[in-house]
Amino acid sequence: MQYNPGWNGSSVNLLHVRAAGPADSLHYVWSSIGAPAVLLVATQSPSSALRVNWTQLLSPNPAGAIWIDPPDSVVYSTAVVFTKLFEFRVAKPLGELFYPTYNLSEFSWDSLNHTLNHTALTAELSGVPATDPGGSFSNGSLAFRVTAYEASGRDGRLPSLLHTADSSQLEFVLAGVAPRGNSSRFVLEVATVEEAGAVRRLRSERSIDDEYTPTIFEVLSLVAESQNGSSALGFLQWKATAYGSRSPRREDGIQCRAQGLQAANWSLPVSSIVQAYFGDSLGSSCTISALNVSFGGEEGEVYQEKRYLSWSVLLGFGEPPRDTFSPLVISITAVALGTPLAMLLLGSCLVLLAQRRRYSEYEPIN
């Protein structure tokens, strides 16, 4: 993990996470320059490196300021941008009433270097609006917590997402922010950037197994696929829940919904690492899609009471991880289903044996 590689200042945030394999390497570049974003690049070289031209990156025209060396080692690249936070309330019979939008490219962000933990491979990007006339953020903040992994496993806190060494987890946190209305609900806008030859699709999978995330039976994945659909290139994956506590429990669950993936006909916020890497192709050959993720039930009272919201999402390359039944669940299921079946078979055998053996106290005459 590198903070602002090649730059001594802390007025801006750029975190480079690199995972090296025997024949390839993966790069995650997180930044709050412009809107908060992450750039994901997979290469077929174990020694590929991130290069940054800081003078150009911080200029009004950052195109070409970020690249991977050697350039021909790149096999796939994409970006995810967190652009806006909406707040609204449901008013009958008028419908949904929206408050002024929080544009995340206009936030003021703390130095990420203060939260960087090289041992735990974690960091936190925290910010507040540059101007806050209503004072909603006077005692609160919006944060993105990043966790990288060195091996496969499962996160210890709910929603206990399954991860691999090729993936990273992002936790979106809204803490202490005063809602601007009764029963306010929040919506986070997430944009993705794909180069020519790839397309994003939203998948929803349901399972009867809620062992690791109680009462939650749906997993959503925003998967980047090749045009012919033959392979998955990258993904965002999350459980259909958020939580209203720093130490989440089942009863702290907040309803989470994805409101459909749409092509975005607007431009991304300027001066971001996305423009710096994709350059002029961003407006021509790249495809930009947007997805709204909403938090809150019909009444939205969970956040109103606790003033805390956390949503976890996994980012990575290739196919998203798939949960399977644990040995404990398989054993319990086998006992629960096998015992009645064994009793049924044993009873049937006894009945058949009883029918074949007819006893009588009389001796036959002949």
The predicted structure's pLDDT at residue 342: 77
Is residue 62 one of the residues assigned to a domain?
A: no
Under the banding of pLDDT at 50, 70 and 90, the label for residue 122 is: very high
What is the mean predicted confidence (pLDDT) over 233-238? 97
3-state class of 166 per DSSP? coil
* Counted domains in the chain: 2
* 96 lies in the same domain as 118: yes
The predicted structure's pLDDT at residue 360: 56
Is residue 159 one of the residues assigned to a domain?
A: yes
Q: Are strands 141-148 and 14-20 parallel, antiparallel or unpaired?
A: unpaired
The predicted structure's pLDDT at residue 97: 87
The answer to whether 264 and 189 are in contact (CB under 8 A) is no
Is residue 18 one of the residues assigned to a domain?
A: no
Which residues is 167 bridged to in the sheet?
316
Structure tokens at 101: 């939008």
Share of the chain above pLDDT 70, in %: 90
What does the pLDDT look like over 73-95, one tens digit per residue?
A: 999 999 999 999 999 987 777 77
What is the mean predicted confidence (pLDDT) over 142-160? 95
Is residue 28 one of the residues assigned to a domain?
A: no
The C-alpha atoms of residue 155 and residue 10 are separated, in whole angstroms, by 30
The C-alpha atoms of residue 192 and residue 195 are separated, in whole angstroms, by 10
Which residues is 294 bridged to in the sheet?
187, 257
Domain boundary among 292, 317, 342: 317
Is residue 22 one of the residues assigned to a domain?
A: no
The predicted structure's pLDDT at residue 270: 60
Does the pTM exceed 0.85? Answer: yes
The C-alpha atoms of residue 27 and residue 232 are separated, in whole angstroms, by 18
Share of the chain above pLDDT 90, in %: 69
* 224 lies in the same domain as 335: no
Residue-number span of the structural domain to which 336 is assigned: 329-365
Structure tokens at 113: 């270097």
304 vs 295, residue with greater confidence: 295
* 235 lies in the same domain as 274: yes
Is residue 293 one of the residues assigned to a domain?
A: yes
